A and B are shown apart, each in its own frame.
Chain A
């Protein structure tokens, strides 16, 4: 049973436009959420995170939104750049546990 789901395997966006990546979760005990970016032949790198006590966190071009009632989070990248082309994973963790459960990933392609 996939507790963290990314229903869009791929996304293409024009350079300069907004990229929106989505993630849904089923476990209401999750209280911390993270986004990672992964380039080929490299390990995932941490991008941005959000605690369940917030509904938005911003870091430069990256913003994560959390809708707890819908068990949904999204990552917005504005403006998108060709260097943002990568696979993006969302991950979730629950209070008192140290397990991080990842989604299946979304491959973002930013077209120049």
Chain B
């Protein structure tokens, strides 16, 4: 797992509630990413970080925010969860040179 821990692994929440997913790495990699996986859409990039406090948007960033206050932690926040955000969320890390390494995912259900 290249030293990547995602928490929680599973979460069920209600529409309109805030949710924060955490990605923790022990590899000291500069780059961290959040993807979501949905049937028919594959893996889509939500946000990524290229250093502490440095983040940028991906393909599907609307409704999501991120923060990276330490090299090892990258947080993904859904300010007000919607049913369309029901998905499996993957964190990935990288050095800047390929490849990326992925965590085992967080399954989020918004009811």
What residues of chain A have their CB less than 8 Å away from a CB belonging to chain B?
Answer: 6, 9, 32, 34, 36, 41-46, 49, 89, 91, 93, 98-105
Which of A45, A98, A105 has the largest count of B CB atoms less than 10 A from its CB?
A: A98
A100 partner, pick from B45, B103, B104, beta carbons under 8 A: B45
- Report the minimum CB–CB distance from B51 to chain A (whole Å): 11
Provide a sorted-by-A list of 9 A–B residue pairs whose CB atoms are within 8 angstroms: A34-B99, A43-B1, A43-B105, A46-B99, A46-B101, A89-B43, A100-B100, A101-B59, A105-B42
Which of A32, A41, A43, A104 has the largest count of B CB atoms less than 10 A from its CB?
A: A43
Q: Are A44 and B43 within 8 A (Cβ)?
A: yes
Q: Are A34 and B59 within 8 A (Cβ)?
A: no
Q: What separation, in Å, do the CA atoms of A9 and B101 have in the docked complex? A: 23
Q: What separation, in Å, do the CA atoms of A9 and B103 have in the docked complex? A: 24
Given A34-B98, A93-B98, A98-B31: A104 and B104 within 8 A (CB)?
Answer: no
Number of interface residues of B (CB under 8 A): 27
Q: Are A43 and B33 within 8 A (Cβ)?
A: no
Q: Are A98 and B50 within 8 A (Cβ)?
A: yes
Contacts of B36-67 to chain A: CB distance below 8 A: 40-45, 48, 50, 58-59
Of all chain A residues, the one with the shortest Cβ separation from B30 is A98
Given A34-B98, A101-B59: A43 and B103 within 8 A (CB)?
Answer: yes
B90 within 8 A of A: yes
For B35, list chain A residues within 8 Å (CB): 102
Q: Are A101 and B98 within 8 A (Cβ)?
A: no
Which of B43, B44, B58, B103 has the largest count of A CB atoms less than 10 A from its CB?
A: B43
